[in-house]
Amino acid sequence: MAVDDVDTTLHWGDILVVIGYFIAVIIVGILSSCRNRGSVKGYFLAGRSMHWIPVGASLFASNIGSGHFVGLAGSGAASGIGIAVFELNAIFILMVLGWFFVPVYTAAGVFTMPEYLKKRFGGQRIRVYLSVLALLLYVFTKLSADLFSGAIFITQSFKDLNLYVAVIILLAISAVFTIAGGLTAVIWTDFIQVIIMIIGAFIMMILSFIEVGGYEAMIQKYFASFPDTTINNMGNSSYKYAKCGIPPDNAMHLFRSADDGSLPWPGIMFGLTISAVWYWCSDQVIVQRALAAKNLSHAKAGTILAGYLKFLPLWIMVFPGMISRILYRDSVGCADPDVCEEACGSRAGCSNIAFPKLVLGIMPTGLKGLMLAVMMSALISSLTSIFNSSSTLFTIDIWLRIRKQASDVELMIVGRCCVLILVVVSIVWIPIIQNISELFHYIQAITSFLAPPVCAIYVLAVFWKRTNEQGAFWGLMIGLVVGLTRFIWEYAYTVPPCGEEADDNRPDIISKVHYLHFGIILFGISFIATIIISLLTKPIPDKHLHRLTFWNRYSTEEREDLDAEPDRSSHHETKLDQFAEEDFDSLPCYTRAFRWICGIEKMEQAPHLSEEEKKAIEAKQNSIHETKTWRYILNINAVVLMTLAVFLWGFYA
């Protein structure tokens, strides 16, 4: 099928499908937003009342965005199934989250990850640094990746639609969900969106395999999917791109040689694991979903469900990307920069358009609209998750450092304002992200340059009680300096495309040390530095560490918080009394509308509880007790899940 034969016009039936999807999700978001709106815990942690099914679905949806559809399919088109190791590796790290990290976070009774480190180490500098770092990573990697990939799909689908108008509409809908309902609305809309994504992508996968004649035919045809420019110039020594556009021999292998320029096996086994532990076990967007579960058993079950869902990307994203290259070898698999620029506007290659091109080329009327809704669903799911978690970080970890006596009402208003600021920054960043090539590897590289020191600190904080604040802080700072040095050095040079390797002027430390290998080195530097500095400085007394490490998570002794802050409960009650005494229905309509948006329309006065009652409620919320039956069932499921992952990994080794 020729590139120009692809019909990019959406039928009116496709438009109706998209409109129907948005109406349905908006209704779900509004209805769910009516719950858990009147408190900080309700807004930011969904009242810690979520069932394991929406928790697991939200873990999956928060991770899988439009960047995965575009990025994984694009990488599949370019180099085969190797990129699926990122998804299979996550299965094991999700079990680490549920069995090792969530019990500690729950027992500690924390809202955010930097808040955990504040309790663990005391002081403010680590918490503030990690909050600022997380916000920067959200804006410049997660938001940019999703917006860029979403923009690719939109521009392929609506040739006449202005890119900025389309992206602003998506951002506006995402912001409305987050501002209106907090985490409850985000989690329940995630649940609906996961169902839509899986159904639509499965239909897409089936039609794709039918189009190429099945699985075996796909493998055979993929290795023969050379672009015409390569076929016509194979014997032409003067044509420098004659050896480009050829699928790699290891396209069907997950384990690749140590010197593989894309996915070397030491980097996959160790470097990727380090980045994955940071992402799944200490990143606010992910951990916040697990902490919203009603108890530890539901949190573990949620991670298991998310683990099973992580088998899907190989089949619904990577394989369709490979099929897209087969069907559109001259555009998706282009090798000549001039041809690529004509096909997709980029001289670096067009593998990123693999999934959108496949949707518009083989999906029938109606299903095109469904897949467009799927992509918008994935984009909005990721954006709402990032917006909500970013507002949580800013409000709890930064704003409270500025205004220590802020009321619950003020905190929720500030959280909403933070979302609006992120929307503005995202829109301003659109022209920058449009010029980024190799988006998926760019994101992973940034992670490998900045995340390993944070991973080292969390691992040591949870598993080694001798770690102290001085060791953790300076370990982070040393890692930051080393990571930023590599980051700046890396992007001071331009990576030459295929056919122009002779023009590569990068030093060996950049060109021959893969970013995943560098992640291992950076983790080791931060890990060792933290241990040495902690051993050379004063340890933290045990009275400050109860229920803050994995080994003492069941401790019943009373913990004395390091740098304990003044009790804000009486201040809260005074502020809430002011709203509770007001007659909400007698207020002006504009005041009631503003209060509804901020979730403070009917702030009930908090009951006056005794100290014993307060401690009993807190102990119940922070309990990590599990029944023997549920523990047995969950452990068996975790073993089965990891066994299946090992089998699949070995099958494609």
**One-character DSSP codes across 83-117:** GGHHHHHHHHHHHHIIIIIHHHHHHHT-SSHHHHH
Pick the most confident of 115-129, 290-304, 606-620: 290-304
Note the pLDDT of residue 572. Answer: 41
CB atoms closer than 10 angstroms to residue 630: 15
12 vs 16, 28, 153, 366, 377, CA distance in Å?
A: 6, 25, 18, 8, 20
The answer on pLDDT for 346 being more than 70 is yes
| Cross-strand partners of 293 | 50
Q: Quick one: DSSP state of residue 122?
A: -
Most confident of 79-83, 285-289, 624-628: 79-83
Distance separating alpha carbons of residues 412 and 338, to the nearest angstrom: 52
- 254 dihedral zone (left: phi>0; alpha: psi -120 to 50; beta): alpha
Query: Is 523's pLDDT higher than 80?
Result: yes
Tell me the C-alpha distance between 43 and 542, whole Å.
33
Mean pLDDT along residues 467-472: 96
Residue partners of 260: CB distance under 8 A and separation at least 6? 250
- Three-state SS string across 434-484, please? CCCCCHHHHHHHHHHHHHHHHHHHHHHHHHCCCCCHHHHHHHHHHHHHHHH
Position 300 pLDDT exceeds 70 = yes
Residue-wise pLDDT for 217-261, tens only, equals: 999 999 999 998 888 887 777 788 888 889 999 999 999 999 888
Q: Which has more pLDDT, 241 or 383?
A: 241
* DSSP characters over 275-304: HHHHHHHH-HHHHHHHHTBSSHHHHHHHHH
The verdict on pTM exceeding 0.85 is: no
What is d(CA 354, CA 346) in angstroms, rounded to the nearest whole number? 14
Q: What is the pLDDT of residue 137?
A: 80
Per-residue pLDDT for 89 more than 50?
Answer: yes
Give the type of residue at 184: T
The residue with greater pLDDT, 428 or 545, is 545
CB neighbour list of residue 554: distance below 8 Å, 6 or more residues apart? 107, 547, 624
Question: What is the pLDDT, as a whole number, of residue 525?
Answer: 97
Query: Mean pLDDT lowest for which of 84-93, 134-143, 542-551?
Result: 134-143
Residue 298 has pLDDT above 50, yes or no: yes
Query: Residue range 116-135: average pLDDT?
Result: 84
CA gap 107, 618 in Å, rounded: 10
Quick one: average pLDDT of 352-364? 86
Of 26, 54, 57, 48, the closest CA to residue 111 belongs to 48
List, in sequence order, every residue forming a beta bridge with 372; answer none if it has no partner.
none
Q: How far apart are the first and last CA of the chain?
A: 33
Is the pLDDT at 185 greater than 70, yes or no? no
Mean pLDDT of 378-391: 71
Give the pLDDT of residue 221. Answer: 95
More confident residue, 430 or 249: 249
- The structural architecture, per CATH, of the domain 3-26+50-234+246-494+504-555+621-646 is Up-down Bundle (1.20)
Task: Flag the least confident range among 105-114, 297-306, 433-442.
Answer: 433-442
Q: Higher pLDDT residue, 304 or 55?
A: 304
Q: If you average pLDDT over every residue of the chain, what do you get?
A: 80
For residue 476, pLDDT over 80 is answered with yes
Band of the pLDDT at 183, cuts 50, 70, 90?
Answer: very low
Amino acid 571: pLDDT: 41
Average pLDDT over residues 294-312: 94
For the stretch 314-345, pLDDT in tens is 999 999 999 999 999 998 988 888 888 787 77
How does DSSP assign 509-538, residue by residue?
A: HHHTS-HHHHHHHHHHHHHHHHHHHHHHSP
pLDDT for position 579 = 45
Which pLDDT score, from 0 to 100, does residue 196 have?
Answer: 74
- Quote helix, strand, coil % in the chain, to nearest 5: 70, 0, 25
Residue 594 pLDDT greater than 90, yes or no: no
pLDDT confidence of residue 558: 86
Q: Letter for the amino acid at 617?
A: I
pLDDT-derived band at 82, boundaries 50, 70, 90: very high
Q: Which tens digit of pLDDT belongs to each residue from 25-58?
A: 667 656 655 554 444 444 444 446 678 888 888 8
At position 360, the amino acid (one-letter code) is L
pLDDT band, residue 76 (cuts 50/70/90): very high
Cα-based torsion angle of the residue sequence 23, 51, 599, 34 in order, rounded to the nearest 10 degrees: 50
The whole-number pLDDT of residue 605 equals 45
The stretch 254-279 carries a mean pLDDT of: 93
Lookup: tokens for 441: 């590897």
Q: What is the pLDDT of residues 192-205, one digit of tens each?
A: 666 777 888 898 89
- Give the mean model confidence (pLDDT) for residues 609-633: 69
Phi/psi at 293 (nearest 5 deg)?
-65, 150
User: If you average pLDDT over residues 512-527, what whole number do you get?
Assistant: 95
Q: In this predicted structure, which of 131-135, 137-141, 153-157, 410-414 has the lowest mean pLDDT? A: 153-157
Distance CA 165, CA 161 (A): 8
